[in-house]
Amino acid sequence: MSEKTTAVLNKKDLKSNQEVRWCPGCGDYSILNSVQAVMAELGIPKHKFCIISGIGCSSRFPYYMDTYGFHTIHGRAPAIATGVKIANPDLSVWMITGDGDSLSIGGNHTIHMLRRNVDVKIILFNNQIYGLTKGQYSPTSPAGLKTKSTPFGSVDRPFNPISLALGAGATFVARTMDTHPKHMEATLRLAAQHKGSAFVEVFQNCVIFNDGAFEEIIGRSVRDDRTFDLQHGQPMVYGANHDKGVRFKGFGAEFVGASEAEVWDASMPSTAAAQILAELDADPNLPTAVGLFRRVAAPTFDEGVRKQVAKIRESKGPGKLKDLIYTRDSWTVS
């Protein structure tokens, strides 16, 4: 057994002995690969990783990692991860979830984890469909999507996960794609370095029930022109020839030449600019923003809880059970 306390891990050190059972061609494989690559280089020994998941295809993830892991129940991973992080703060806690798990049944826990800023890295596999239950529409499916439960098309309006996370007060919000391992690893690296809730949406392809859902945006042949990558401190330039740019105009964005592109600042206290970029998704004719939407420093919930406990223990001294039971209002019967 490798007891690496400071050592750099090899990717394969993180692979468990369990056979990976996602469908052939599933985007989850590439995410697993990228997570293993990034985790291996963090300098954290593998026994310090704890991966918590909910229910769904993505949530099988912990079984494939030779770290501590907990495959929990549908939607509740944020609450369980919060308890883990408070009780055992030395752990690097990661949460794996899907669009149904974290935005539908577990939506409440997701927003509360983000507002509290619990120090957990959250990877949301967004494939805009329920996979494990075999093909019903999800809260991120576009309106009109025909699925097993919506044979005449969905009339639900979808969530934009980035907008939701920003609205919930997340301190780190990013988006990446399963087809672009380099971008995914760079994004996960940033997330791993962030202290607090780091919310990463991954556009992930479900080959069986929603194949090609993101193809028009992130397909290799189109993605350079259909997406623009938000990098903190870099101009918002995109295009196969790096000739296009984005800048803000009033309460919206406009698409201009690369030379007129605005420099992206992900650390703004206001989420307004990030929201403007996130909401570009609504118009299929406009490019989609990926990369780092927001990264601000804020106290974490788990640290706040621990500091308060430590402060009270220091000021009052370690409590003795006897003092708790034998109080001043007691009397003696002899």
Partner 1 sequence: MSTPASIGSELPLQSQESVVIRFAGDSGDGMQITGNQFTATSAFLGNDLATLPDFPAEIRAPAGTRPGVSGFQVRFSSSEIHTPGDNPDVLVAMNPAALVVNLKDLKPGGIVIINTGNWAELDLKKARLDKDPRETGMLNGYRLIEIDINQRVKEALAGTSLSPKEVQRCKNFYTLGIMYWLYSRPLDPTEKWLAAKFKDEPEMIQANVLALRAGYSAGDIHELFQARYEVAPCDTMAPGVYRNIMGNQALSLGLVAGAHLANLELFLGSYPITPASDILHQLSAYKNYGVTTMQAEDEIAAVCSAIGASFAGQLGVTTTSGPGMALKTEAIGLAISTELPLVVVDIQRAGPSTGMPTKTEQSDLYQAVLGRNGDAPLPVVSCSTPADAFESAIEAVRIAVQFMTPVILLSDGYIANGSEPWRLPKLEDLTPFPVTFRTEKEGFHPFLRDGKLARPWVKPGTPGLEHRIGGLEKDADSGNISYDPKNHERMTHLRWDKVMGVRETYKPSTVSGAQRGKLLVVGWGSTAGSILSAVEVLRRRGAEVGCLHLRHIWPLPKDLAEIFGRFERLLVPEMNMGQLARLLRSEFPSTRIESYPKVQGLPFTTSELVARLESELAAASRS
Residues that bind partner 1 (CB under 8 A): 1, 3, 5, 16, 18, 45-48, 50, 52, 55, 62-63, 65-73, 76, 78-88, 90-91, 108-109, 112, 305, 308-309, 312-313, 316-319, 321-322, 324-327, 329-334
* Residue 251 or 326 having the CB closest to partner 1: 326
Shortest CB 220 distance to partner 1, Å: 34
Q: In whole angstroms, what is the distance from residue 79 CA to residue 110 CA? A: 8
Burial code of 237-252, b = ≥16 C-beta within 10 A, e = fewer? Answer: bbeeeeebbbeeeeee
* Residue 52 or 192 having the CB closest to partner 1: 52
* Residue 109 or 194 having the CB closest to partner 1: 109
Token pair listed for 241: 């020839």
Shortest CB 105 distance to partner 1, Å: 10
Shortest CB 147 distance to partner 1, Å: 25
Interacting residues of 241 by C-beta distance below 8 A, sequence separation 6+: none
Radius of gyration of the chain (CA): 22
Shortest CB 211 distance to partner 1, Å: 27
* Residue 283 or 329 having the CB closest to partner 1: 329
* Residue 62 or 161 having the CB closest to partner 1: 62
* Residue 153 or 319 having the CB closest to partner 1: 319
Shortest CB 89 distance to partner 1, Å: 9
Surface-to-core class of residue 284, CB atoms within 10 Å of its CB (0-12 exposed, 13-18 middle, 19+ buried): exposed
Triad 239, 191, 263: Cα angle to 5°: 40
Coil, helix or strand for 30? helix
Q: What are phi and psi of 51, to 5 degrees?
A: -115, 125
- From residue 34, alpha-carbon distances to 39, 176, 177, 305 in Å are 8, 11, 11, 32
- From residue 64, alpha-carbon distances to 14, 58, 60, 102, 276 in Å are 8, 11, 7, 20, 37
Alpha helices in 168-245 (DSSP H): 181-193, 215-218, 223-226
| Of residues 281, 238, 279, the one with CA closest to residue 262 | 238
Shortest CB 271 distance to partner 1, Å: 21
Shortest CB 206 distance to partner 1, Å: 21
The upper half-sphere exposure of residue 128, i.e. CA atoms within 13 Å in the direction of its Cβ, equals 24
Shortest CB 23 distance to partner 1, Å: 17
* Residue 53 or 160 having the CB closest to partner 1: 53
* Residue 113 or 292 having the CB closest to partner 1: 113
